[in-house]
Every structure is written in C-alpha cells, then in structure tokens.
Amino acid sequence: DADVTQTPRNRITKTGKRIMLECSQTKGHDRMYWYRQDPGLGLRLIYYSFDVKDINKGEISDGYSVSRQAQAKFSLSLESAIPNQTALYFCATSRTGQNQPQHFGDGTRLSIL
Amino acid sequence: GNSVTQMEGPVTLSEEAFLTINCTYTATGYPSLFWYVQYPGEGLQLLLKATKADDKGSNKGFEATYRKETTSFHLEKGSVQVSDSAVYFCALRGTGNQFYFGTGTSLTVIP
C-alpha cells in the first residue's frame, strides 16, 4: 500500500463546481503539503500544515482552501473551479526537521472544462 | 529569499552516456538540498540529499555534491540507462522549513 494516498487519481469537472481532493498518509508525519504542477513551472506550494491546528498559505493559495481533519488527513478544496486550475496536484508529507525530505503521493490529475 | 534554478531540458542521451544536470540555488542560512525523480504517472521520489557543505549525496549511481562556494548541487551519473528516463527536480529546504523546487529537467535515454 502507498504511504501517501491521493484520491481521486483523475477528475474531470466543469467550471464553477466545488471539488475536494483528499490525501491520507500512514507515515506518521506531522507535516503535510499541497502542490500543483504545471508544465514548465515545476511545483508550486498551495498550502501546508505543520500539525492539526496549523494551516499556512503557500505561494498560490488564492482560489483554494484546505482542511487538516487529523494528523493523517489533509484535503484540498476548490470552492468554485476555474479552467486555469487544471493541473496535476500533489500531496506530500515530511517529518519535522530541516534535513527531512518530503514524500509524495502519486498525484491527482484535475481537468476543469 | 530562497529559489532554485536548474538546467532547462529536455535532455536526450544515448545509453551509457555521462549525465550532468545543473542546479544552482539562492538561500538564506544553510539549506538542505535534494534531488527528486518523477517517472511518468507517478509522484516525486527522493533520489538523494545533502545536508551541509561538501556533503555528497548518492543513490542508484547518481551523485551530487553540495558546493556552498558556487551555490550548486549538480546531478551526475557516469553511465545512464534507458530506465533513467524521467523528470529530475532539484529542491532545497530552507530554514523556514518550506521546500523550493526547480522547474524540472526531462531526461530521455535512447538505446
């Protein structure tokens, strides 16, 4: 089983719809992150959370919200989807500590028509 | 601020060729540096890391040395294989504990 699981893996939806992407982890890590990946732009941080009571905006948080329901779960919502939010979305986790790497899920490919 | 600049791709090499993917960084303090690899349809996987100046990270024949004087962390492999075809990302973890990623370099190895 994957340590970091994202659902759904693929989603096609229409402009204006509300969408939730879910992430769960079995690694026991405190920190969780949401990124989007666009061709030529690499990964850009949307939101991150260092524990259940801690939520922080990343580089591109406008149009997104998150919820850290438990240590193991971190969901990303698009309240009213727009076509330029079409992208590949990744959840990642890490332990506390500067030397600790991030561990990624397999991604959710989201298309907004 | 913190940022990572890596070599633009795509890079195409013949099997057994030598690989270098350049990565330079800007950071406050003393970041940790990482290389990640992304295979088609998958998430990023940690390839190697280095946590202080002059450290060398290595894994699966890939190496990178943390060079503080040139603020670089270039990825190298002496003999690439077709199975190394993927996108490679350089990243740093700064003192604020956020990660900063380069834009990725696509590598294709042909037999």
Position A1 scores a pLDDT of: 53
Position A39 scores a pLDDT of: 83
pLDDT (tens digit, 9 = 90+) per residue, A11-69?
A: 999 999 999 999 999 999 999 999 999 987 889 999 999 999 999 999 899 999 999 99
pLDDT (tens digit, 9 = 90+) per residue, A70-108?
A: 999 999 999 999 999 999 999 999 998 778 889 999 999
Q: Do A99 and B32 touch (CB under 8 A)?
A: yes
Q: Which residues of A touch B95 (CB under 8 A)?
A: 98
Average per-residue pLDDT in chain B?
93
Q: Taking Cα atoms as reference points, which of B13, B5, B24 lies closest to residue B78?
A: B13
Position B9 scores a pLDDT of: 83
Inter-chain contacts counted by CB atoms under 8 A, chains A and B: 53
Burial readout A66-94 (b: 16 or more C-beta within 10 A, e: otherwise): bebeebbebbbebeebeeebbbbbbbbbb
Q: Which residues of B touch A58 (CB under 8 A)?
A: 98
- In the stretch 57-96 of chain A, residues with CB closer than 8 A to chain B read 58, 90, 92, 96
pLDDT (tens digit, 9 = 90+) per residue, B73-83?
A: 999 999 999 99
The mean pLDDT value for B45-49 works out to 96
> Of the candidates B36, B89, B103, which has its C-beta nearest A40's C-beta?
B103
- Asked whether the predicted pLDDT for residue B88 surpasses 90, the reply is yes
Of residues A16 and B95, more confidence is placed in A16
Position B98 scores a pLDDT of: 81
Residue of A nearest to B102 (CA): A42
Could you tell me if B97 lies within 8 Å of chain A, comparing CB atoms?
Answer: yes
Instruction: Mutation target for B interface from A3, A29, A33, A37: give the one with most B CBs within 10 A.
Output: A37
Position A2 scores a pLDDT of: 63
Residue B71 near residue B26 (C-beta atoms within 8 A): yes
> Of the candidates A42, A48, A50, which has its C-beta nearest B103's C-beta?
A42
> Of the candidates A41, A48, A90, which has its C-beta nearest B103's C-beta?
A41
Residue B32 C-alpha, separation from nearest chain A C-alpha, in angstroms = 6
Q: Taking Cα atoms as reference points, which of B47, B4, B53 lies closest to residue B24?
A: B4
